[in-house]
Amino acid sequence: MTANSRCSAAEPPGLETQRREIESLLRECELRVGDSWYVVEHRWFEQWKEFVETGDQNSPSFPGQINNTELFEDLDSYHLKERLVENEDFVLVPAEAWHKLQAWYGMVDGQPPLERKVVDLPSTLKVEIYPVEVFLCLHSNIENVITAEFSRADSILSIQKAMCQAFSVPSSSECRLWIKSLDSSCERLRNVHMSVLDACLSSGMTVIMETRNADGTWPSSRPQIMRNSAEEQDSYRGQPGVCGLTNLGNTCFMNSALQCLSNTPPLTEYFLQSSYLEELNFTNPLGMKGEIAEAYADVIKQMWSGRHYSVVPRVFKTKVGHFASQFLGYQQHDSQELLSFLLDGLHEDLNRVKNKEYIELRDADGRPDQEVAEEAWRNHRRRNDSVIVDTFHGLFKSTLVCPECHKVSVTFDPFCYLSVPLPVSKERVMEVFFVSLDPYAKPVQHRVVVPKAGKVSDLCSALSEMTKVPPTQMVVADVFNHRFYKIYNADESLSCILDRDDIFQQEEEQVLLALYLRERSHYRDYGSGSSSYGTTLFGHPLLLNVPRSSCNEEALYKLFLQRLARYVRLPDPSEELEEEEEEEEDGKEELYKTQTNGVSDGIVTLKITLLSTHQSQWQMPQPCKLEQACSPTVLANEQPAKRRACRKKRKSLFTIQAVNSNGMTERGTKDGGSIVSFSSQPYVAIDWDPEMKKRFYNENEAEKYVKHTSMEVPQQQTTVQLQECIELFTTVETLEEENPWYCPVCKKHQLATKKLDLWSLPEVLIIHLKRFSYTKFTREKLDSIVEFPLRDLDFSACLLRKNLSNGEPLSRYDLIAVSNHYGGLRDGHYTSYAKNKDNGQWYYFDDSKVTYAREDQIVTNAAYVLFYHRQDQIRKPTLPAPDDITSCKAEDTELGSAASYFNMETE
């Protein structure tokens, strides 16, 4: 046999050339992580060396085809024998040397090349001889297991591809891998670009692959179907994206934000097409290891599967709370704050920049705006490159001017949304109740206009013009839950008052007495360990000016009867209200021990009650009539014996107790003694026996009030244009003391003037209407209607960048979504309007409930966050709009049943 016949693949070079080339590669090739080396049977390699050293092509030492038979346990599985030793059982040659040897000598038929990777083990680089041997199976068929080997340098993605091929899973399917350890615990393999070594995958483990269900869920998440049966849920086919989100407990703010983002076409299509899988950033220290992006993707894929009426975003809520502790629990939060966190979190989880370089920011220093802007945007993209930047980020110009040296600093800064202020009125409309000291006059409700930054005295002055009562004879008090929450001084700021409180006069020689009404329970409060009776506050509290000389029980009883004359009936002389003297004394003893056991659960609206000491409208009742009405006081000319008989036979309508500001009993009173403390605001309560209250207290009359003509004038709803808000955003302002600017020329912090201008706008523009106003002294929500266009919002007039070259974006936008907030500062409810990208129809999303919406319903004073899509990027709907809905009311067109929910468990 000739030498030529011995070569299987190609004509080899001379033996000396072979020896020189292979020895050179063995000598110079270094181990590098991920490189391939090949295992060659030691005896064959030694025979080759002997052959090339002879220099004789016809030498009997010719090695023949590469043969690794001695390294295998059997020739069926080609599984390596255990405990093989390098340079005794085998040698390692670099890939280039292997390919030359294989080309020159060929390989025994059927034998696989023994390719091995260089791995970075702790403190050393090494060619792994024994790969990781794992078991592979599908989540849908756990019993069908195959065995496969992978290098520790292989990526998890290579395992996924191998499994797709082995189990005939379409390459377009979205997959997730799980490791099942020998102890049966399971863990997600999130980062498919991670190596087998870094993923801690070792021999004997099982890798399970699952594919996403058609309804957007994962088999491993074990969805719990509520109310509707599985058959009903599986048979449901709705418009993709028209899907509610279950309120998990005050999570309407989150649902509103999610619905707006869900109906942002470029972002949703990015997730529906699974583009995010290739861009998940698991190493970004500013990110969330891809978990927020994955959780968001799960919600979007379920909402757009068309298989659910409503989805339960429980896993997403858990992830948000895990990475942003301010959203832990189930308190109400701000939808715009959630949006801000989510957009930033998605950006960092999907940032294509894996290693952020440090870039020193430069001031303009007189350079042209175009140059500085391009540099700023280029630097921004060097550190921030994601679908969020592609879709939502724009650039504005910031100009700061030092008030002292007039240094001008110009920078260009990226933004993700615009927070625009609303024009704030300098006046405030307040509704107040004026309570006259005339006991027969009903409270009068007034509507007054006062300075927003004014004082309580301004409120009194405004009301004085309507009532003709001097403002000095008024006091303002906040009434809540049948008690005085606060009594204000005239020089206090009106910002301390929410929207309703009370007003009176206090003269130097008189006491301003706060009077509460309480009802005793029928039974003693044995549960408290005492023999006292429990009490409950009721009705409206009052303020009275009482002479210091009248601050005893007898005088106060008479004064209180006078003050309550409109709704407290005096007993008829024929009505017997007698009681034995011993019983009366026992009753007084009980009175002094009375403790209140709580207050009514009813809520009285905060109101501003105004009480004056202007007494020209009424006359004091005659003393004799009062005495006949069972007052404990008597006329001075009566005989002592007769006085004693009256005390023995006549019973009071109510008893009097000194109490604290909450209406709780503090101390008892003694006959003839003062029950008023002059060291602080005095509070007293009159306690009614239930039977006496039922007979002599007219609850209907006590609740009556009249409306002043000022209440008949319809309150004008403030309306502003969105364009006004944008203009305010670009108005020059002076920095606040808490946020000064450091002037590089003056070398100190300055309250510089600042102006923001729009330079470039993103594809999707988010506009946050700053309805919530917080300062040192005020907190309020602005309910102005902001008129915003549904189409053709044009920014061409306010964009600084005028010279757009051909093909650059236009500046006209169409509305695609609105996040709404209803209610006040501390509570409220969030909903959203959104336009479906596929059929162009508007919908109203109220947690799990979804209804059709008309365009004329969208602009309201609840609009809080607006989403606009640039017209040059808007595609035409691919589906026709639903029929016959324009004539339907939204409340009559609920889509399907909102009772079908999926409960996704956390992993």
What's the residue count for the chain?
907
The position carrying tokens 């429980």 is 314
pLDDT of 645 reads 45
- Can you spell out the DSSP letters for 67-119? --GGGBS-TTT-PBPTT--BTTTEEEEEHHHHHHHHHHH-B-TTPPP-EEEEE
Q: What value does the mean pLDDT take over residues 133-138?
A: 93
Rounded Cα distance between 801 and 760, Å, is 7
Mean pLDDT of 571-596: 51
**Is 106 inside any structural domain?**
yes
CA distance 820 to 236: 29
- Is there a single domain that holds both residue 872 and residue 734? yes
DSSP E strands in 314-455: the ranges are 394-401, 408-415, 418-421, 427-434, 444-451
Say if residue 734's pLDDT is above 80.
yes
Please, which pLDDT band fits residue 710 given cuts at 50, 70 and 90?
Answer: confident
Contacts of 500 (CB under 8 A, 6+ apart): 430, 431, 432, 433, 478, 479, 605, 606, 607, 608
Indicate whether 325 pLDDT > 90.
Answer: no
pLDDT score at 261: 98
Max mean pLDDT among 4-13, 24-33, 549-558 falls in 24-33
Beta strands, E only, 583-682: 607-610, 654-659, 665-667
Check whether 12 has a pLDDT greater than 80: yes
DSSP annotation string for 466-529 = HH---GGG---EEEETTEEEEE--TTSBGGG--S---B----TTEEEEEEEEEEEEEEE-GGGT
Residue 43 phi/psi, 5° resolution? -65, -40
* Nearest one of 748, 770, 478, 475 to 608, comparing CA atoms: 478
Position 139 scores a pLDDT of: 92
**Residue at 433 is within a domain:** yes
Kind and range of the H or E element at 52? helix 42-54
Q: Which tokens in the block code for residue 191?
A: 């980062």
Looking at the fold, whether 149 and 196 belong to one and the same domain comes out as: yes
Distances in Å between the alpha carbon of 792 and those of 393, 726, 808, 868, 871? Answer: 20, 15, 18, 10, 8
How far is it, in rounded angstroms, from Cα 627 to Cα 573?
A: 11
695: phi then psi, degrees, rounded to nearest 5: -80, -35
According to the per-residue pLDDT averaged within each range, which of 343-357, 507-521, 771-785 is highest? Answer: 343-357
Last residue of a domain, one of 86, 120, 154: 120
| Residue 304 falls inside a structural domain | yes
pLDDT in tens, 249-307: 889 999 999 999 999 999 999 999 999 999 999 989 999 999 999 999 999 999 999 99
CA atoms 883, 886, 889, 894: torsion sign: positive
Residue 502 pLDDT: 45
CA–CA separation, 386 vs 394, rounded Å?
Answer: 13
Alpha helices in 138-251 (DSSP H): 156-166, 230-235
Cβ atoms within 10 A of the Cβ of 881, count?
Answer: 13
Residue ending a domain, among 89, 120, 151, is 120
What's the confidence (pLDDT) of residue 488? 85
Model confidence band, residue 57 (pLDDT cutoffs 50, 70, 90): confident
Same domain, 435 and 413: no
* Span 171-199, pLDDT tens digits: 888 999 999 877 777 888 888 888 898 88
Q: Which of 120, 148, 180 is the last residue of a domain?
A: 120
Q: Has residue 883 been placed in a domain?
A: no
Find the CATH number of the domain harbouring 65. 3.30.2230.10
Please check whether residue 576 lies inside any domain of the structure: no
State pLDDT tens for residues 406-438.
999 999 999 999 999 988 777 778 888 898 888
* One domain, residues 565 and 713: yes
From the list 75, 24, 70, the residue with the least C-alpha distance to 43 is: 70
Do strands 394-401 and 753-760 pair parallel, antiparallel, or not at all (unpaired)? antiparallel
pLDDT for 647 beyond 80 = no
- Nearest C-alpha neighbor of 890 from the set 849, 861, 862, 847: 849
Helix (H) or strand (E) holding 464: helix 456-467
Please check whether residue 613 lies inside any domain of the structure. no
pLDDT recorded at residue 628? 32
Whether 800 has a pLDDT exceeding 90, the answer reads no
Per-residue tokens: 434? 């004026």
H or E segment to which residue 40 belongs: strand 36-41
> In the predicted model, is pLDDT for residue 730 greater than 60?
yes
**pLDDT-wise least confident of 109-118, 662-671, 717-726, 854-863:** 662-671
Same domain as 705, residue 844: no
Same domain, 259 and 344: yes
Query: 14 burial class (0-12, 13-18, 19+ CB within 10 angstroms)?
Result: exposed
For residue range 461-473, list pLDDT tens digits in order: 989 888 888 888 8
Q: pLDDT digits over 473-498, tens only?
A: 888 888 888 888 888 888 888 777 76
Q: What is the pLDDT of residues 36-47, one digit of tens each?
A: 999 999 999 999
Q: What pLDDT does 885 receive?
A: 55
Q: Which of 522-536, 708-722, 735-749 has the lowest mean pLDDT?
A: 522-536
Say whether both 385 and 289 belong to one domain.
yes
180: tokens are 């099942």
More reliable by pLDDT, 226 or 347: 347
Q: What is the mean pLDDT of the chain?
A: 81
Indicate whether 753 pLDDT > 50: yes
Token pair, residue 456, equals 């309580």
**If you average pLDDT over residues 572-589, what whole number do you get?**
56
pLDDT digits (tens, 9 = 90+) for 831-868: 999 999 999 999 999 999 999 999 999 999 999 999 99
- Positions annotated as catalytic residues are 252, 829
Mean pLDDT of 610-639: 38
The predicted structure's pLDDT at residue 528: 43
Residue 74's pLDDT is 86
Evaluate if residue 802 carries a pLDDT over 50.
yes
pTM higher than the cut 0.85: no
Task: Give bridge partners of residue 866 from the DSSP assignment.
Answer: 767, 818
The confidence score (pLDDT) of residue 662 equals 86
600 pLDDT band, cuts 50/70/90, is: very low
DSSP single-letter state for residue 177: E
Q: In the chain, how many H helices and how many E strands?
A: 21, 42
Residue 637 lies in a domain: no
Give the structural domain span for 201. Answer: 132-211
Same domain, residue pair 709 and 723: no
- Percentage of residues in the chain with pLDDT exceeding 90? 48
Instruction: Verify that 294 and 345 share a domain, yes or no.
Output: yes
Residues 684 and 740 in one domain: no
Of 568-572, 591-595, 718-722, the one with minimum mean pLDDT is: 591-595
pLDDT at position 657 over 80: yes
Q: Are residues 434 and 387 in the same domain?
A: no
Domain CATH number, residue 202: 3.10.20.90
237 versus 856: the higher-pLDDT residue is 856
Element (H, E) at 822: strand 812-822
Of 443, 440, 442, 459, the closest CA to residue 451 belongs to 459
Q: What is the mean pLDDT of residues 884-893?
A: 47
Residue-wise DSSP of 518-569: EEEEEEE-GGGTSSPEEEEEEEEEEEEEEEGGG-BHHHHHHHHHHHTTTTBP
Q: Which amino acid is at 200?
A: C
At 221 the three-state DSSP class reads helix
Average pLDDT over residues 679-689: 85
Q: Would you say residue 89 has pLDDT above 90?
A: yes
Residues 416 and 462 in one domain: no
The tokens of 553 are what? 């029980």
Mean pLDDT, residues 779-786 = 83
* Residue at 644 is within a domain: no
User: Which of 31-35's residues contact partners 24+ apart within 8 Å by CB, and which partners?
Assistant: 31/118, 31/125, 31/126, 31/127, 32/118, 32/125, 33/118, 33/119, 33/120, 33/125, 33/153, 34/117, 34/118, 34/153, 35/94, 35/95, 35/117, 35/118
User: Tell me, what CATH number does 352's domain have?
Assistant: 3.90.70.10
Biggest CA-to-CA distance, the chain: 156
Select the highest-mean-pLDDT range: 223-237, 537-551, 746-760. 746-760
Number of domains in the chain: 4
CB atoms within 10 A of CB 129: 17
